[in-house]
Structure 1
């Protein structure tokens, strides 16, 4: 598959990013066999539609319905970009294991894949490159846009979307092909991870001032979105480049924190409910979401996370806003133990854990705490279910559609900024203070109404056991707090790699290495292989080391 040069584009998007339903825009489907991009971009509305299309790839597999795919060789349901990113960031870790019998499941659960096709890896790679491709095409055409189009802002937003896609590729694959709107070759050269980091840093710094400080339309990129992505890059810079950049992480966290444009939601659970994009209490914390609407953005992205975490025999519209369930994703015992409940484990239930820390949103009836025999086929018996994301509104009513959730996925939110700041201070970054870092952690715990002990400066730097295991690492308390606050939000794999725990034998969990009790694996699994489907058509690409 080659998606680097899009010669035609259908300017249809189901995302309602710019304050109105799609019908308001008089969207006209264009025949890709007839219309070129030059023909398609002919009116102010067409440029708005084109920009929406770039954003929409995170949420939608295609432009017609949930069964359509922009990329012909990818299954529409299984390879929505959000779903692929979430699956690989979570199901490879101690937070999630999948119970399905699909061929890819034991490979992802057990960190045992090779270069053979794995749908989530193919989807992550090719849909990220698809964003790069259509963003490049959009940027080529933007100079010809009518005067009514805000060219500067549209250009900056398209560049941000492209940068976010390249960030994902850098994190997951390290060395992707690199192509911009100025590239002419249809077989682009590969860029190494360190050089891609430098390009992203320069690109994001350049577009930051071209965007509004805070967007006037929920779901669009702004300066704080750029600042967050830079902060996350700097937090993980030592992994990406070999050089720590914690001072820079603090700097960009402070831009967000100092703006006072965001505050913590009063109710943690409302951040993950069907009306989180309309509920001002939740929305005030969300910096950048992947938007969803059960009627107008139908796909199996956020739906896979919500419906996939319920059982067909237990899920109802009344208890979570959708019908049935897929018996797919649930927790490991490691995730539950992160909440440090002090009672005997035999007495633990989802309810008493939630009373201890209201971020613990689980379902334990009939389930053992640990996955003891196999992840496959044991969804309702081994491993607690995770009910953090729901298609219920904050008033308890269901979302608009019982098949496709309304719930936006908070890709970036303020609580993560608090935690990035605290970790960077603890690791020696300059420009922040330990007292402020402690305050941020305490604020998160105060919202959670936890029974944990008070945090102090020593707590930030202490060597601590990870999720109740025998493994202990420096700054481990912060990693545990990240787990409690951000579990199932597509950060865990990156976090474990930063702490040196993802592949090591020091810290294990169910199915790691293909063993039910868990073992260490080769360090090559810190990266995914470049798909053979791309290497086979581009002789400029080399496979990642070890594959």
Structure 2
């Protein structure tokens, strides 16, 4: 299939202009974002609303006001570390059996060994990013009511566009609140109705945040009877922006983990919403698995919601710039990167793949699976990238499907696939095994993925066990930011019986309290009404 070189989407172009109107942020969820210009003056310009919305999307991507460093969004952490998806990926992957990092950068190595605490800068940075997003989404919703638009004399076109813009802002806020309840449990909670400058925000329970996210997503998809502030129909949004397909996927994610969050099996709902995605006709499996992780992957028919990266317009040291560079050393030039000598995988991952599975046989490599030359499968020395073992995973490559390099070897053109169709297939299959959905359909869906991977695709219903599905999720979705949440849902993230192949860790045991990260110590000091998660300083 022919693929053209990447051209900038309207979202990327608007993100370039978004700093003109951004109300520069703080990381305190209850504090109004600061501004060099009053909202009344800024928002008389019709274009400011779309630019602000672009910055909300940009909060998942860029790290500051100029990029790649300088004038960063959040403080207390190196700007390169602070990119939203870099920190999310690190917490989701480095805390599991899928990834090891060689670096010893002020606490990142503690993610590998479950030794983080409430002062870990990566835990704090993720928390701050979540509430940076929430604060700005709330501000957008405060400033974009119909009465505000009419009082400022904004055009009729803006008034007509605003309900969908507001639905997108609500989706982005719901996404960050989902990350918050998944990673941290009971968290501070505010909406645009919160009276700024009053008392510190109260801490909501996981159930309360769950219910809010659910109701928001039902509202902006029209499921709750709302007819005004709704997302574009499934498959109709501009690439990189949320439509109802993205919201259905987030709903399904919420329901998939409902037993962890609120003690309820919502497998029927998982099957319902993933089936809507699958049956919509808006998406299809990418014929070539690896095309989803190349520099022109914006053309993939499989993406439900992706975060666009552009080597010229979204320069930062996170996202797929981090995932591509940190995974490579001397061989980086073959993959369009410069190489940072950091990430590799473990023998547990290597052993999960059948020798005929094509998913770990990457373009621009020689040999069998992963990059194995001169390396042991076992990790023998975590800080030693070159000689400490562990296969290299060049999953994200800054090279197009036509073999052309990205526009900039230092910064990635590879878009980050937050939600894609294969995940919906596996979520449906898991829901069927857990009592929701149709088992025969689940078998058909998983066999489609097996066939794309070069395997026979002859699984039967008896093969579709929970153990198989957990392993298949690791194989299909390797290094895509799902592993920690998956392991917790399958009750395999903590305990003394974990068999994770870290040869430096003898007798490794992780308490159940590690299923949540701690609220940052700095947040507890700023808001003494908050209660720390059990197992951490200040918690029971």
TM-score by length of 2: 0.87
Q: Give the counterpart of 1:314 among 318, 331, 336.
A: 331
The answer to whether the 8 A contact 2:312-2:407 is kept is yes
Aligned to 1:464: none
CA shift, 1:194, in A, is 1.2
Query: What is the rounded CA distance, in whole Å, between the counterparts of 2:19 and 2:251 in structure 1?
Result: 34
Aligned to 2:460: 456
| Stretches of structure 1 lacking an aligned partner (at least 5 in a row) | 1-14, 343-348, 462-474
Match runs of 1:356-367 below 5 Å: 362-367=370-375
Q: Give the counterpart of 2:311 among 278, 286, 294.
A: 294
Aligned to 1:158: 169
Q: Secondary structure at the match of 1:309?
A: coil
CA shift, 1:509, in A, is 1.0
Q: 1:184 to 1:164 in 2, by over 3 A?
A: same
Q: Does 1:115 align with 2:87?
A: no
Structure 1 residue ranges (4+ consecutive) displaced by more than 4 angstroms after TM superposition: 22-27, 29-33, 349-355
Aligned to 1:383: 390
Q: Give the counterpart of 1:256 among 271, 274, 277.
A: 277
Q: 1:379 to 1:40 in 2, by over 3 A?
A: farther
Instruction: Spell out, residue by residue over 1:152-171, the C-alpha distance to the aligned partner (whole angstroms, 9 max, x if none).
Output: 10010000000000000010
The answer to whether the 8 A contact 2:74-2:82 is kept is no
Aligned to 1:471: none
Q: Does 1:182 align with 2:190?
A: no
Q: Secondary structure at the match of 1:292?
A: coil
Q: Does 1:493 align with 2:496?
A: no
The answer to whether the 8 A contact 2:358-2:454 is kept is no
Further displaced range: 24-33 or 174-183: 24-33
Match runs of 1:442-481 below 5 Å: 442-450=447-455, 454-461=458-465, 475-481=466-472
Q: Secondary structure at the match of 1:484?
A: helix
Q: Give the counterpart of 2:399 among 377, 392, 413.
A: 392
Aligned to 2:134: 132
CA shift, 1:39, in A, is 2.4
The answer to whether the 8 A contact 1:91-1:97 is kept is yes
CA shift, 1:96, in A, is 0.2
Q: Give the counterpart of 1:206 among 219, 225, 229.
A: 219
Q: 1:352 to 1:250 in 2, by over 3 A?
A: closer
Q: Does 1:406 align with 2:437?
A: no
The answer to whether the 8 A contact 1:172-1:528 is kept is yes
Aligned to 1:338: 352
Further displaced range: 400-409 or 65-74: 65-74
Q: Give the counterpart of 1:433 among 420, 430, 438.
A: 438
CA shift, 1:105, in A, is 3.0
CA shift, 1:27, in A, is 6.8
| Aligned Cα root-mean-square deviation (Å) | 2.4
Q: Does 1:21 align with 2:28?
A: no
Match runs of 1:342-353 below 5 Å: none
CA shift, 1:507, in A, is 2.8
Aligned to 1:537: 526
Q: Secondary structure at the match of 1:112?
A: coil
Q: Secondary structure at the match of 2:424?
A: helix
Q: Secondary structure at the match of 2:464?
A: helix
The answer to whether the 8 A contact 1:173-1:530 is kept is yes
Query: What is the rounded CA distance, in whole Å, between the counterparts of 1:70 and 1:113 in structure 2?
Result: 24
Instruction: Spell out, residue by residue over 1:300-359, the C-alpha distance to the aligned partner (whole angstroms, 9 max, x if none).
Output: 112111101111x3321xx11122x111111010011110339xxxxxx9999679xx9x
Q: Secondary structure at the match of 1:21?
A: helix
Match runs of 1:185-196 below 5 Å: 185-186=196-197, 187-196=200-209
Q: 1:352 to 1:240 in 2, by over 3 A?
A: closer
The answer to whether the 8 A contact 1:361-1:386 is kept is no
Query: What is the rounded CA distance, in whole Å, between the counterparts of 1:171 and 1:532 in structure 2?
Result: 19
Aligned to 1:272: 293
Further displaced range: 517-526 or 385-394: 517-526
Q: 1:157 to 1:352 in 2, by over 3 A?
A: closer
Q: Secondary structure at the match of 1:541?
A: coil
Query: What is the rounded CA distance, in whole Å, between the counterparts of 1:51 and 1:268 in structure 2?
Result: 32
Q: 1:163 to 1:216 in 2, by over 3 A?
A: closer
Q: Secondary structure at the match of 1:251?
A: helix
Aligned to 1:506: 497
Aligned to 2:31: none
Query: What is the rounded CA distance, in whole Å, between the counterparts of 1:31 and 1:105 in structure 2?
Result: 31
Q: Secondary structure at the match of 2:383?
A: coil
Aligned to 1:224: 245
Query: What is the rounded CA distance, in whole Å, between the counterparts of 1:30 and 1:340 in structure 2?
Result: 49
CA shift, 1:376, in A, is 1.0
TM-score by length of 1: 0.86
